[in-house]
Structure 1
Amino acid sequence: MKYKVYGYAICKNEEAFVDAWMDSMSEADGVYVLDTGSTDGTVEKLRARGAHVTVELIRPWRFDVARNRSLALVPEDGDILVCTDLDEAFEKGWRSALEEQWAGDTDQARYRYTWNFQEDGSEGVVFWIEKIHRRCGFKWRHPVHEVLTYTGEGEPKKAELLGVQLNHHADPTKPRAQYLPLLELSVKECPEDDRNMHYLGREYMYRRMWDPCIETLKRHLTLKSATWPDERAASMRYIARAYENKGEDAEAERWMYRAIGEAPYLREPYMDLACFYYRKKNWFGVIHMTESALKIRERSMSYINEPMSWGSAPYDLAAIAYYWAGLPEKALEAEDRALAMAPEDERLKANRDWILKKL
């Protein structure tokens, strides 16, 4: 079936991304952009490429207000709306894959999203997002880390779009200064919202504010709505990191074990503890944790996954631990597995030479 598909976005000073974004969105029937005060050539370049651009300052700044304003710009005759940022781009063919899998009663769709890439060009954090939706019945909510919320009756009917891939190429020069006050505002507005309570604690961790990090994430774990084991385990892991940075290793270790118990099907908690034991030169602890991590073969489709756990690192740590534990044959086996995943890594090659000398 043929649908009317529109793209919409917000932007500010993203001239460098305009061409790639417009190329990506060329499969849509039109694109509508709210520019919130660019001082470079973003607006002119977008218009030259055929985008419908409205310039409007949002004061005080809130991401949800800006998103809802950009959503309002989209014509009412749209069947399917696609929200992206200018530093994101779909791989070709997304429109046909979308139309093939969108049923007449579908409200929202989820699809694969690569949030970042490694230095060698391989994928980093990968998860599934849900920013394709029906024209009516949705609004954006929260000052930051805004979420698309269904305003209709019951639950939205969702489709899973196989073959639709969106890639994010973030501008590392953009500041994060506004995130913390907006997250604090979000938690103040909705103190029982578990999602943003977790994000606030994580933001404190990023800023090395260890005590607020611990306090906030412990609050997250007490919320009635905080029932998702993956995110609960992440809060426990971040609490552990904060305690270790405060020099409280026993408490850190205890919280790492709690994270494993909360979500034993995730590699990341095991890898946190493997790294902790590596720093303590507890080689048999490293061996146990890396072996446990490697038994987990299925990577989570949520944002709670870290590329280190799914690359060469588990084998690399295991190889080092086997070596110092006096098990060079096992060390060589693990090192070869690590090199198979990162064949150009000079450190891994040097480590393999050391193991061969030991043998």
Structure 2
Amino acid sequence: MDDQTLKIAVYTIALNEENFVQRWFDSAKDADYLLIADTGSNDKTVGIAKSLGINVINVNIKPWRFDMARNAALAAIPSEIDFCISLDMDEVLIPGWKKEFDTLPPGVTRPRYNFVYTFDKEGKAIHSFVGDKIHLRNYYRWKNPVHEILLPYGVKEIEHHINLEMHHYPDTSKSRGQYLSLLELSVAEDPLDDRAAFWLAREYFFYKRNEESKNAFKKYLEDFPRAWYAERAWAYKFLANIEGENREDYLILASQLAPEFREIWVELAEHYRQLKNWAKCFETALRANALTVRPDIYLTDQRIWDGPAVYDLLALSSHYLGKNAEAREFGLKAVELAPEDERLKKNVVFYSEALERE
């Protein structure tokens, strides 16, 4: 596409974001149009935004729901804009992002990109997946009171991946307290929405409301046999953490549904470690170790793919199976991935001494 004709808007909703407006602007300023839909800030958010030349509108959504606020923002974007980027105030675009639109083939309605959701203390990515918040100016609307999604209307959706990257730096001072009630509303409004049902069950789990979470996950699995297999697998994974007596069965079901995910195999291997079933622990950790390509979805944990957990489990189980040479080898690999971990270093000494005694 010709960047002389392609116009990009970046938009967001905001409430008391004075600490993040400048950062948001700096990452998005190459856009042809910037818009903040302010939802009632009583700090300096609006003043800072206007001083930077950002277009600001005021929206008043009562009772509150995210989709209506985002749709109000979207409606205020000029019609001559071609593509819109929904960029939250706790997110940034990595420099060079705009030129990536030049690579779009004709007909694309939904560019996809890499979204890094969480980082560790050293700034290394932990969770990343393919992002979905870039869309044509027309033919798209937001749906759901929370964990809102973009849906196309009157157009055949065509996706294409571009080398654009967006990073998420969550504001931990913000409460998630309203999410649960909004998720309950999502499910009530659309009981056929499998993802809303999954997210509600997960939210109950996060709130340690285990009985409600268990019932919601079981209902989700029963009601949506054709839902996305990865979320169905994670539903079993969550149930494994709620119903300890059925932990193994649930994890096996999860592994059968989604055998390409290390996270499931590692959790199953850890279950066998706790049971001191070393043969199964070794076998299951070996299955995890064979997986080397992390799927690009929001459920995965980069620490499981890049960290020492698999080698640690292989080392421990090898030792208890009487294979101390292998235990030492796996233990050294674990230390390479986590050189500051004192337990792992002590384990290597233990394996080495056990090997010398053979």
Partner amino acid, structure 1, of 2:342: E
Task: Please give the alpha-carbon distance, in whole angstroms, between the structure 2 residues aligned to 1:348 and 1:100.
Answer: 48
Output aligned runs, 1:252-267, within 5 Å: 252-267=247-262
**Residue-by-residue CA offset, 1:263-318 (whole Å, 9 max, x unaligned):** 11221211121222233333333212111111112111111212232122111222
* Match among 26, 36, 41 for residue 39 of structure 2: 36
- What's the CA shift for 1:342? 2.3
> Is this contact kept in 2: 1:194–1:225, CA < 8 A?
no
Output aligned runs, 1:172-183, within 5 Å: 172-183=172-183
Range with greater deviation from structure 2 (329-338 or 124-133): 329-338
Partner amino acid, structure 1, of 2:104: W
Output aligned runs, 1:235-254, within 5 Å: 235-244=235-244, 249=245, 251-254=246-249
Corresponding position: 1:302 with 2:303: no
Partner amino acid, structure 2, of 1:37: G
| Cross-structure match for 2:114 | 112
Corresponding position: 1:269 with 2:269: no
| Cross-structure match for 1:326 | 322
Output aligned runs, 1:132-281, within 5 Å: 132-153=134-155, 155-161=156-162, 163-224=163-224, 226-244=226-244, 249=245, 251-281=246-276
Task: Please give the alpha-carbon distance, in whole angstroms, between the structure 2 residues aligned to 1:280 and 1:301.
Answer: 32
- What TM-score do you get using the length of structure 2 for normalisation? 0.93
| Secondary structure at 1:115 match in 2 | strand
> Is this contact kept in 2: 1:312–1:342, CA < 8 A?
yes
Partner amino acid, structure 1, of 2:161: E
Aligned length: 351
Task: Please give the alpha-carbon distance, in whole angstroms, between the structure 2 residues aligned to 1:215 and 1:8.
Answer: 38
Task: Please give the alpha-carbon distance, in whole angstroms, between the structure 2 residues aligned to 1:229 and 1:200.
Answer: 17
| Secondary structure at 2:60 match in 1 | coil
RMSD: 1.6
Range with greater deviation from structure 2 (58-67 or 41-50): 41-50
Task: Please give the alpha-carbon distance, in whole angstroms, between the structure 2 residues aligned to 1:350 and 1:16.
Answer: 44
**Residue-by-residue CA offset, 1:120-149 (whole Å, 9 max, x unaligned):** 221111100111111100000000100000
* Match among 24, 31, 44 for residue 27 of structure 2: 24
- Identity over the aligned pairs, expressed in percent? 34
Task: Please give the alpha-carbon distance, in whole angstroms, between the structure 1 residues aligned to 2:346 and 2:47.
Answer: 52
Corresponding position: 1:122 with 2:124: yes
Partner amino acid, structure 1, of 2:137: R
* Change in CA separation of 1:263 and 1:77 when aligned onto 2, cut-off 3 Å: same
* Match among 274, 278, 284 for residue 279 of structure 2: 284
Partner amino acid, structure 1, of 2:179: Y
> Is this contact kept in 2: 1:286–1:318, CA < 8 A?
yes
Corresponding position: 1:50 with 2:45: no
Corresponding position: 1:8 with 2:11: yes
> Is this contact kept in 2: 1:220–1:226, CA < 8 A?
no
Partner amino acid, structure 2, of 1:264: P
Task: Please give the alpha-carbon distance, in whole angstroms, between the structure 2 residues aligned to 1:169 and 1:345.
Answer: 26
> Is this contact kept in 1: 2:59–2:72, CA < 8 A?
no
| Cross-structure match for 1:80 | 83
Partner amino acid, structure 1, of 2:27: S
Could you list the runs of 5+ residues in structure 1 that have no partner in the other structure?
A: none
| Cross-structure match for 1:96 | 99
Task: Please give the alpha-carbon distance, in whole angstroms, between the structure 2 residues aligned to 1:357 and 1:180.
Answer: 53
- What TM-score do you get using the length of structure 1 for normalisation? 0.93
**Residue-by-residue CA offset, 1:304-355 (whole Å, 9 max, x unaligned):** 2122321221112222332333322112211222222223333322322332
Task: Please give the alpha-carbon distance, in whole angstroms, between the structure 1 residues aligned to 2:204 and 2:260.
Answer: 27
- What's the CA shift for 1:224? 4.3
| Cross-structure match for 2:351 | 355
Task: Please give the alpha-carbon distance, in whole angstroms, between the structure 2 residues aligned to 1:281 and 1:20.
Answer: 50
Partner amino acid, structure 2, of 1:25: A
Task: Please give the alpha-carbon distance, in whole angstroms, between the structure 2 residues aligned to 1:22 and 1:347.
Answer: 45
Could you list the runs of 5+ residues in structure 2 that have no partner in the other structure?
A: none
Task: Please give the alpha-carbon distance, in whole angstroms, between the structure 1 residues aligned to 2:122 and 2:146.
Answer: 31
Corresponding position: 1:67 with 2:70: yes
Task: Please give the alpha-carbon distance, in whole angstroms, between the structure 2 residues aligned to 1:289 and 1:337.
Answer: 18
Task: Please give the alpha-carbon distance, in whole angstroms, between the structure 2 residues aligned to 1:321 and 1:12.
Answer: 51
Task: Please give the alpha-carbon distance, in whole angstroms, between the structure 1 residues aligned to 2:276 and 2:49.
Answer: 55
Runs of 4+ in 1 over 6 A off after TM superposition: none
- What's the CA shift for 1:225? 6.6
Partner amino acid, structure 2, of 1:159: H
